[in-house]
Chains A and B, each alone.
Chain A
């Protein structure tokens, strides 16, 4: 068998090839197909991102004259104690919610995979909360997690457990938000269920014949085979957790519920306050880029880590 020894082409060659592609009508056809997305990306994503990067070096407030402030906003970001508090809250919440989300949604997907005919009904039932407006979830959260009169503590009381004051005790605010979040795992359950159904049965049969226990089959067959789906869910939910806003804002920072503390001050809430309450758009832009950097670093670490843990069929990696 011949082995490939050719070295990768340099950037100039690659660029030349890329431009040469435009001689082909199919390249133009491909761009025509892509054009709606490209237009949306340039106008609604890349454009605002570039604009916010420029604004992050100014004292833009929409209303007053804008001045260039150099690195002042970034300097303030580094020394702002509220940024530290909000980032700490957000990171702790992310570290709690992502593993909980994966474990819970995987558990539900595995149960659903065994339900058989009724799976369709349960899939729909689990997906319904995903479509519930975030504001409604925020209000529902306050009712369900009420310390003395909430449904959660009533349930715990049934088992003889005296539940905490979830919404007022700073130590329990984040765990309660994690539990509330688990209500909305429907999308991940559907993805994991599809991944579970796609695992070839012969792998289970072969491992069973080799005497593998249920746990061993789960660890050495199921998990590697669905690892791309798990990886996708981890990435998506990490980014979403770092951008948590709606439910928490409704529950703790709304005009009618002004009871937010450091325990519920998430990074994006602080960013929102700076932008749309205090009109510090330039500083808020810097905060947004700070978060972008954090998300980029965490995602890069996850992607590098995935090389060790994620198995792609047909991929030598």
Chain B
């Protein structure tokens, strides 16, 4: 073999060994960086001031090294970590996912954590706890608590000569008539203002509940998607969309909204009203603090207020190498004193920036009382009323219970509603199909 060939072959061999060594290093990186006492958290990367000020307190409480890789909880990443036998010590994720992972045995029940660290579960909101309770065992600790009220643009109502009483979700014919009065369609047929956005498919559980049906049984095992009341709720929500130009025009216009910007749909008077989570008041306070808004409670057909709640939670995966530190972290992060410290910090930051502060909605009812009592200062009559309303509706909350097939169940009703909106099926046909799919999914998951 000629000399140059030999040296090239040698170089190639070295390169191959290099690739091998690099891969081996990557594979072992995770395990070599882990040391005793380190708390590895997945889904809770560097966050905003509320997250970071609490994380600082929790890190001090844990006393050891805390690793928080960037990024939100990712199923793919979590499953890969579990498959490699190296699960994180603690995860931060959507509450609706906890039941599924608990049913599959991926999370530990927190019975011993709660008793050993004397965590007062009574301070947490019951619907939030229900969401993370599977087969009567608690699998998570609730963090934030998302509340849904109807956000009204007062300007639009004034322009259309409509009174707030017209936006009564307990009186469906009246609400439909109001939506028709508020919607604006130009001469070319384009929707230029939405009257009332029912927010489907996302808020379908709220419409079904308003009509008197829970779409899933309390044990998370029996779907009620094709219950006549659920079908009627969907038919009504779709009729609201159809009365305002139909799905094509309705969505075309809604997709143009500058949702987080200064010229958002409220500031630009592009919508009369829509149900929305409470965090959006905070967005509006930052991006367009001069908007004239009103928050209304969503009422069921019996005129009782209802609130569809969702949020996040902490959970300890099975195989966690540091469950004690994980438990300390969860307890500290969600304690009243920690939440209050974070709220005070946020209030002072906002004040320094001359920005309004609308408070924090947490899964800890005791903390919420303290936060609003001690940190909330008046912004203007509009935001003050909205914040007050958010606090009022918290006690009327319901949730979609934990299920061993939460994701499939949600996918089934979400797809069903999209088929109806696209005109491919009637509400009855779509929800019959969704019922069949979700029953099969739950059956498979509980095998």
Contact flags (1/0) for A259-292 with B, using CB distance below 8 Å?
A: 1111100000000010011110100000000000
CA A279 to CA B79, docked complex, whole Å: 9
Task: Please determine whether B190 and A168 come into contact, CB atoms closer than 8 angstroms.
Answer: no
Asked if B86 CB lies within 8 Å of chain A CBs, one says no
B247 at the interface (CB under 8 A from A): yes
In the assembled complex, the Cα of A260 lies from the Cα of B418 at a distance in Å of 7
Inter-chain contact A39/B83, CB cutoff 8 Å:
no
**A1 to B202 Cα, complex, angstroms:** 79
Interface string of A22-34 (1 = CB under 8 A from B): 0001101100111
Partner of B252, one of A62, A148, A170, A258: A148
- Known contacts: A29-B1, A32-B9. The answer to whether A64 contacts B252 by CB under 8 A is no
Residues of chain A lying within 8 A (CB to CB) of residue B251: 147, 167-168, 259
**Are the CB atoms of A63 and B8 closer together than 8 Å?**
no
List A residues at the B interface (Cβ < 8 Å): 25-26, 28-29, 32-36, 39-40, 43, 61-64, 142-143, 146-150, 165, 167-170, 258-263, 273, 276-279, 281
Chain B 46-70 per-residue mask, 1 if CB under 8 angstroms from chain A, else 0: 0000000000000000000000000
Asked if B422 and A277 make an inter-chain contact with CB atoms under 8 angstroms apart, the answer reads no
A–B complex contacts, Cβ < 8 Å, 9 sampled: A64-B105, A142-B255, A146-B252, A146-B256, A147-B251, A149-B255, A149-B256, A170-B424, A278-B441
Across the A-B interface, give the 8 residue pairs with the lowest CB-CB distance, nearest first: A165-B248, A35-B16, A147-B252, A148-B252, A29-B9, A32-B9, A63-B106, A62-B79
Chain B residue contacts of A150, Cβ below 8 A: 252
- Which residues of the other chain, B, contact A148 by a CB distance below 8 angstroms? 190-191, 249, 252-253
Whether the Cβ atoms of A25 and B1 lie closer than 8 Å is yes
Residues of A near B349 (CB, < 8 A) are none
Shortest Cβ distance from A247 into chain B, in angstroms? 16
Q: Are B422 and A168 in contact (CB under 8 A)?
A: yes
Say whether B105 contacts A261, CB under 8 Å.
no
Partner of B248 from A28, A169, A258, A263 at Cβ < 8 Å: A169
Interchain CB contact under 8 A, B202 and A258:
yes
B interface vs A, CB < 8 Å? 1, 5-6, 8-10, 12-13, 15-16, 19-20, 23, 75-76, 79, 82-83, 100-101, 104-106, 190-191, 201-202, 247-249, 251-253, 255-256, 405, 407-408, 411, 414-415, 418-419, 421-424, 441
Q: Which residues on the A side are within 8 Å of B104 (C-beta)?
A: 61, 63-64, 279
Report the Cα distance A309→B187, complex, angstroms: 54
Q: Which residues of B contact A142 (CB under 8 A)?
A: 255
A195 to B196, CA, bound (A): 57
Assuming the contacts A168-B247, A278-B407, asked whether A63 and B101 have C-beta atoms less than 8 A apart, the reply is yes
- State whether B419 touches A29 (Cβ < 8 A): no
* Chain A nearest CB, measured from B444 CB (Å): 8
Most buried by A among B100, B105, B251: B251
Q: Which of B13, B83, B422 contacts A170 (CB 8 A)?
A: B422
Contact, CB under 8 Å: B1 / A40: no
Q: What residues of A have a CB within 8 angstroms of the CB of B415 in the complex?
A: 260-261
- Cα distance A89–B389 in the bound complex, in angstroms: 46
Task: Knowing A61-B104, A148-B253 are in contact, say whether A32-B13 is a contact too (CB < 8 A).
Answer: yes
How many Å from the CB of B360 to the closest CB on chain A? 22
For residue B5, which residues in chain A have a CB less than 8 angstroms away from its CB?
26, 29
**10 extra interchain contacts, Cβ-Cβ under 8 A, other than A146-B256, A258-B201?**
A29-B1, A29-B6, A35-B12, A36-B16, A147-B248, A147-B249, A149-B252, A168-B247, A261-B419, A279-B79
| A258-B82 contact, Cβ under 8 Å, with A25-B1, A148-B252 | no
A residues near B422, Cβ cutoff 8 Å: 168-170, 261, 263
CA distance A273 to B415 in the complex (A): 13
Q: Nearest chain B CB to A36's CB is how many angstroms away?
A: 5
Residue of A nearest to B317 (CB): A63
Most chain B beta-carbon contacts within 10 A, residue among A25, A32, A33, A150: A32
Q: Which residues of A contact B408 (CB under 8 A)?
A: 277-278
* A223 and B253 alpha carbons, distance in the complex (Å): 46
In contact, A36 and B15 (Cβ under 8 angstroms) = yes
Which chain A positions have C-beta within 8 A of B252? 146-150, 165, 168
Complex-state Cα separation, A32 to B17, whole angstroms = 10
Distance A62 CA – B1 CA, assembled complex (angstroms): 50
Distance in Å: Cβ of A206 to nearest Cβ of chain B = 44
**B255/A146 in contact, CB under 8 A:** yes
B82 vs chain A, min Cβ distance (A) = 6
Which of A29, A62, A149, A261 is close to B424, meaning CB atoms less than 8 Å apart?
A: A261
- The residues of B that contact A35 with a CB separation of less than 8 Å are 12-13, 15-16
User: Do A262 and B16 have beta carbons less than 8 Å apart?
Assistant: no
Contacts of B8 in A (CB 8 A): 29, 33
Give CA–CA (A310, B415) in the complex, Å. Answer: 44
